Amino acid sequence: MVRFPLLALALVAPGALLAQAAPVQSVTRATIVSNADAEFGRVDANKDGQMSRGEIETSQRAAISQRVNARNKALFAQLDSDKNGQISPAEFAKASPAPEPDAAAVLRIDTNKDGQVSLAEHRSATIDTFTKIDANKDGMITAAEVKAASEK
């Protein structure tokens, strides 16, 4: 299944979407909308139909934590050049600090400026991004269109 994380779509910036889309040959608008709706449902923890700043930041923290853990394992292997397993977790954590979450980027799609992102706002931003990338307007995003959009 093709997944585009909330941040990539919500930023309404083809460059952010492209980092995730590169291995995809083509994807339909319906798939993008379905995946965006699923991502919205995952972030909307209290299921009130709105993504609050707290829910967005919680989701971002979880995603950041997963990326940092994977990066830390790879970095540990690099730092442990003699492969003796003697680099402590504290030393390793200093070498790879986690970035802070930034809900402001996602909240840019909050068109009514109520401090929350509704499903309609999220879907609209997703469709706008898809439409911008789908250069030939055939309802599919190809690798070539993704590449072209990233170069703009």
Burial class (CB in 10 A: 0-12, 13-18, 19+), 13: middle
List, for residues 126-150, the tens digit of each pLDDT value: 999 999 999 999 999 998 898 899 8
pLDDT at 3 over 60: no
87 conformational bin, left if phi > 0, alpha if psi -120 to 50, beta if neither = beta
pLDDT of residue 101: 85
Residue ranges per domain, the chain? 6-150
pLDDT at 9 over 80: no
By 3-state DSSP, what share of the chain in percent is helix, strand and coil, each rounded to 5?
60, 10, 35
Beta carbons of 7 and 67 less than 8 angstroms apart: no
pLDDT digits (tens, 9 = 90+) for 29-71: 999 999 999 999 999 999 999 999 999 999 999 999 999 999 8
Average pLDDT, the chain: 81
Please state the pTM of the whole predicted model. Answer: 0.46
pLDDT reported for residue 85: 82
Measured between its terminal Cα atoms, the distance across the chain in Å is 27
pLDDT, tens digit, for every residue of 88-119? 776 667 676 778 888 888 889 999 999 999 99
